[in-house]
């Protein structure tokens, strides 16, 4: 087995190596705030919470075979829900719960129309894209004083400032900088492990089966729509959590959370890291965020120019993404010992050329 | 009565806009099954080309033609460099053209700056009954009809149209008959891009142009084309009429945001009932 086999997309049971890897990551993440300065912690926390968004995307796209451009809808909804609920009720724990549940409900509604309407992949992508644009526009149009939820003004373009941090029961003050770091890291690791284990259950195996061949799974008696809708709802909830964590991290929510650029970035993280893995999107988020920050520091004015170029290059040349490409390279370079079989890396399903219309 | 006439005028104008901004996308999607997410940026490039041509002293109609040609040529280059490698990989073309769209926005902002440009129009208004109509809006309606008619004529009566329709129905058989599908795709993509460029050029007197102009159109154009289904002319015509009517009435009554939300909700419901669009059940046609 190569060291990269935790990057495999086959829904196999994790090996003990993977558990060691998870345990090591937990130890490193728990100890990191003790040895790093505040600005690095802030940056890493942002990367961790954005990784959640990337994870929600790769779960749905890499494993469920549905490319949704609308993950930022749930991300933004999560952020706004947390902001509005915490400022209205004053209890941030409930606000966090609402920020996960409401996006899940919206995902269920939207998903019902799209998935039970049997929209094919491309239609689903475009509809979710349109929903993103409309949401952003609608939020931007709420600058007038008549748009108030409870006691909170929506403020349109300017967003809602002064969102309270998360209040934990064992402390009087809201979470400190280290607290936010640990919170985002814990959320990322928990969601990663949960998704990885979910994929080894019968639900996860059926989902991957649907991605590979939906008609065959239906003939075997599975109602594929139920499985896909569940995946859509789960990933909506994860994106909502990510948005709520962003509000906790920055004490601020703004219509930019629904932005098309934001949506594009999610896709780029997942593509760069490798959509057919769960660890890939986390790596991709880190790499691209770091690249973005670095480009900003050296004074390249238009980061989108570079990101667009990266997206085109990866789609044309490295379709599987960084980690699987490196893994394949490693397997070619390092001759495997006889009898040592790495699980096959299945390519993500794509529409066949010239497939007959339904 | 006046109110009715005023809202009818708004509806016609909404339909006109939808036809103009989505026809190029519809031609490319209908024929090549490629969703060009950089469509909005093609419109933006057309608008800039028109502004520069007018600055150089060309009359508006010539500037529009020049913009269409320039963006068409740009589309051919894009097809050869990017799209050609991705035929049959629907999702990948979507992603690659999205990358292209970000790239173009970044490049134009770097080269020309984020500030908006515009060209003055002095076509004035005419008064019909109690209505005060902008002459330019009426001209736009004529342009939309002309674009539809030209595309129909091109597909129906020319040799290229015949080859394109054959390739659209079955690229393999067309290839076996001696047609080069790759060449047909290249020219079609160029034609679709030229339509997008023309759209930007004729709209620039109304909207002005800035590097993010494409965003304003892209959602409407996609929803129209996807709801229209795979027949570019009939589908776009039908979807534009339905959405234009809804958008016009809702915008007139409330606000443009309500109009767009209404259009989206209707689109989602229509696609729930007819998953492959309004023309999805029709076997052949335009």
CA distance A147 to A158: 13
Residues of A in contact with B271 (CB under 8 A): 113-114, 117, 119, 123, 127
pLDDT at A358 over 50: no
Q: Which of A77, A89, A81, A210 is nearest to A136 (CA)?
A: A77
Q: What domain range includes position A207?
A: 11-259
The pLDDT score that the predictor gives to residue B248 is 81
* Cα–Cα distance list, A336 to A247, A341, A343, A346, B151 (Å): 47, 8, 13, 19, 59
Mean pLDDT of B128-143: 80
Residue A328 lies in a domain: no
Residue A86 lies in a domain: yes
Nearest to A139 by CA among A150, A120, A153: A153
Closest residue in chain A to residue B257, using alpha carbons only? A138
Question: Shortest Cα distance from B197 to chain A (angstroms)?
Answer: 21
- Band (A240; pLDDT cuts 50, 70, 90): very high
| Confidence category of residue A108, pLDDT binned at 50, 70, 90 | very high
Evaluate whether residue A93 is within a structural domain: yes
Within a domain: A339:
no
Calculate mean pLDDT across residues A14-23: 84
Q: A173 or A87: which carries more pLDDT confidence?
A: A87
CA distance A101 to chain B (A): 22
Taking a C-beta distance cutoff of 8 angstroms, is the pair A128, A69 a contact?
yes
pLDDT tens column, B205-260: 888 888 888 887 887 888 888 888 878 888 888 888 888 888 888 877 787 778 87
Q: Is residue A357's pLDDT more than 50?
A: no
Q: Which of A109-123, A145-159, B148-162, B183-197 has the lowest mean pLDDT?
A: A145-159
Residue A342 has pLDDT above 70, yes or no: no
Confidence band (pLDDT; 50, 70, 90) for A310?
confident
Distance in angstroms (rounded) separating the CA atoms of residues A257 and A154: 14
Task: Give pLDDT, residue A104.
Answer: 92
Domain ranges of chain B: 2-273
Indicate the average pLDDT of chain A: 79
**A353·B226 Cβ contact <8 A:** no
Residues of B in contact with A141 (CB under 8 A): 255, 257
Structure confidence at residue A40 (pLDDT): 83
Which chain A residues are within 8 Å of B275, Cβ to Cβ?
117-120, 123, 358
pLDDT at residue A313 above 60? yes
Q: Please tell me which residue of chain A has the smallest CA distance to B170.
A: A354
Decide if A161 is inside a domain: yes
Res A237: pLDDT? 93
* pLDDT tens sequence across B25-77: 888 888 888 888 899 999 999 999 999 888 888 888 888 899 999 999 999 99
Whether residue A312 is contained in a domain is answered as: no
> CA distances (Å), A334 to each of A3, A295, A337, B130, in order?
11, 35, 9, 82
**So what's the pLDDT on residue B192?**
92
Cα maximum dimension of chain A: 71
ipTM above 0.85, yes or no: no
Which residues in chain A are closer than 8 Å to B266, comparing Cβ atoms? Answer: none
Fold (CATH) for B2-273: ABC transporter involved in vitamin B12 uptake, BtuC (1.10.3470)
How many beta-carbon pairs under 8 angstroms link A with B?
Answer: 143
Residues in chain B within 8 Å Cβ distance of A353: 87-89
pLDDT tens, residue by residue, A245-272:
898 888 888 888 887 778 888 888 888 8
Chain A, nearest residue to B275 by Cα: A119
Residues of chain A contacting residue B273, judged by C-beta atoms under 8 Å apart? 117
Query: Cβ contact (<8 Å) for A133 and B91?
Result: no
CB distance B238 to B279 below 8 Å: yes
- 3 state DSSP class of A296: helix
**What residues in A contact B257, CB-CB < 8 Å?**
137-138, 141
State pTM to two decimals. Answer: 0.82
Q: Identify the pLDDT of residue B196.
A: 92
What pLDDT does B98 receive? 87
d(CA B17, CA A28) in angstroms, rounded, equals: 57
Dist CA B194 CA A173 (whole Å): 61
Mind giving me the DSSP string for B225-275? HHHH-S-HHHHHHHHHHHHHHHHHHHHHHS-HHHHHHHHHHHHHHHHHHST
Q: Is the pLDDT of residue A354 over 50?
A: no
Contact: B98, A311; criterion CB under 8 Å: yes
| Between A92 and A291, residue with greater pLDDT | A291
- Residue A89: beta bridge partners? none
Rounded CA separation B125/A231 (Å) = 55
Strands A152-153 and A160-161: unpaired
Q: Do B100 and A308 touch (CB under 8 A)?
A: yes
pLDDT of residue A119: 73
pLDDT confidence of residue A335: 59
pLDDT for residue B1: 64
Measured between CA atoms, the residue of chain A closest to residue B110 is: A302
CA-angle at A137, arms to A310 and B33, nearest 5°: 50
**Banded model confidence at residue A6, pLDDT cuts 50, 70, 90:** very low
Contact call for A352 and B110, based on CB within 8 A: no
According to DSSP, the β-strands at A160-161 and A252-253 are: antiparallel
pLDDT-derived band of residue A170, with 50, 70 and 90 as boundaries?
Answer: low
| Residue B112, number of CB atoms within 10 A of its CB | 15
Chain B residue nearest residue A119, CA to CA:
B275
Is A153 inside a domain boundary?
yes
Of A153, A150, A173, nearest in space to A162 by CA: A153
Over residues A41-68, the pLDDT tens digits come to: 888 888 898 999 999 988 888 888 888 8
- Alpha-carbon gap, residue B247 to B240, rounded angstroms: 10
> Is B268 in contact with A114 (Cβ distance < 8 A)?
yes
CA-nearest residue to B111 within chain A is A302
Per the CB < 8 Å rule, is A122 touching B275?
Answer: no
Contact state of B255 with A141 under an 8 Å Cβ cutoff = yes
| Inter-chain touch A127–B104, beta carbons under 8 Å | no
Let me know: does A305 contact B106? Beta carbons within 8 Å.
Answer: yes
Please compute the mean of the pLDDT values over residues A79-93 and round it to a whole number: 83
Quick one: pLDDT at residue B284?
66
Yes or no, beta carbons of A260 and B88 under 8 Å apart: no
Count of the separate structural domains present in chain A = 1
Q: Which residues of B touch A111 (CB under 8 A)?
A: none
How many angstroms away from the CA of A275 is the closest CA of chain B?
13
Alpha-carbon distance of A305 to A321, in angstroms, equals 20
Q: Is the pLDDT of residue A355 over 50?
A: no
Q: Are A113 and B89 a contacting pair at CB < 8 A?
A: no
């Amino acid at each position: 087995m190569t060291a990269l086999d935790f990057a495999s997309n086959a829904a196999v049971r994790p090996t003990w190596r993977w558990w060691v890897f998870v345990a090591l990551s937990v130890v490193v993440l728990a100890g990191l705030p003790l040895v790093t300065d505040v600005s690095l912690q802030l940056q890493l926390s942002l990367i961790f919470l954005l990784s959640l968004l990337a994870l929600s995307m790769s779960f749905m796209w890499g494993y469920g075979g549905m490319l949704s451009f609308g993950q930022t809808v749930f991300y933004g909804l999560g952020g706004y829900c947390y902001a509005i609920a915490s400022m209205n009720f004053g209890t941030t724990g409930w606000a966090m719960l609402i920020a996960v549940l409401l996006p899940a409900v919206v995902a269920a509604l939207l998903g019902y129309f799209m998935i039970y309407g049997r929209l094919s992949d491309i239609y689903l992508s475009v509809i979710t894209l349109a929903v993103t644009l409309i949401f952003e526009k609608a939020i931007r149009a709420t600058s007038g004083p008549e748009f108030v939820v409870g006691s909170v003004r929506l403020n349109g373009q300017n967003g809602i400032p002064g969102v309270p941090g998360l209040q934990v029961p064992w402390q009087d003050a809201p979470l400190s900088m280290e607290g936010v770091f640990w919170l985002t890291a814990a959320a990322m690791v928990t969601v990663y492990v949960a998704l990885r284990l979910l994929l080894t259950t019968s639900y996860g195996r059926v989902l991957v089966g649907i991605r590979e061949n939906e008609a065959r799974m239906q003939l075997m008696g599975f109602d594929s729509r139920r499985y896909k809708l569940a995946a859509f709802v789960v990933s909506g909830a994860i994106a909502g959590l990510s948005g709520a964590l962003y509000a906790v991290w920055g004490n601020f929510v703004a219509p930019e959370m629904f932005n098309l650029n934001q949506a594009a970035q999610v896709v780029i993280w997942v593509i760069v890291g490798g959509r057919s893995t769960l660890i890939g999107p986390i790596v991709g988020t880190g790499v691209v965020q770091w690249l973005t920050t670095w480009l900003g520091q050296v004074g390249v004015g238009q980061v989108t120019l570079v990101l667009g170029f990266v997206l085109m290059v990866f789609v044309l040349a490295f379709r599987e993404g960084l980690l699987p490409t490196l893994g394949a390279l490693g397997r070619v370079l390092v001759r495997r010992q006889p009898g040592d079989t790495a699980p096959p890396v299945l390519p993500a399903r794509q529409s066949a050329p010239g497939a007959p219309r339904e | 009565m006046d109110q009715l006439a005023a809202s009818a005028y708004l509806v016609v104008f909404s339909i006109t806009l939808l036809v103009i901004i989505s026809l190029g996308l519809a031609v490319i999607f209908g024929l090549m099954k490629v969703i060009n997410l950089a469509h909005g940026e093609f419109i933006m490039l057309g608008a800039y080309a028109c502004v520069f041509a007018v600055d150089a002293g060309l009359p508006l109609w010539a500037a529009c033609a020049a913009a269409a040609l320039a963006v068409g040529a740009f589309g051919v280059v894009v097809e050869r460099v990017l799209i050609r490698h991705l035929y049959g990989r629907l999702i990948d073309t979507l992603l690659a053209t999205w990358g292209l769209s970000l790239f173009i926005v970044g490049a134009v902002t770097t080269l020309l700056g984020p500030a908006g440009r515009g060209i003055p129009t002095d076509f004035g208004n005419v008064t019909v009954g109690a209505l005060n109509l902008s002459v330019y809006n009426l001209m736009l309606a004529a342009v939309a009809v002309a674009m539809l008619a030209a595309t129909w004529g091109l597909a129906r009566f020319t040799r290229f149209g015949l080859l394109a329709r054959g390739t659209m129905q079955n690229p393999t058989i067309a290839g076996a008959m001696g047609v080069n599908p790759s060449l047909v795709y290249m020219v079609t993509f160029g034609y679709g891009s030229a339509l997008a460029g023309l759209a930007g050029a004729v709209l620039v007197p109304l909207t002005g142009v800035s590097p993010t102009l494409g965003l304003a159109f892209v959602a409407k154009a996609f929803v129209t084309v996807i709801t229209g289904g795979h027949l570019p002319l009939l589908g776009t015509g039908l979807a534009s009429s339905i959405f234009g009517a809804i958008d016009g009435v809702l915008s007139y009554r409330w606000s443009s945001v309500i109009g767009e939300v209404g259009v989206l909700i209707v689109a989602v419901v229509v696609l729930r009932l007819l998953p492959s669009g309004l023309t999805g059940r029709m076997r052949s046609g335009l």
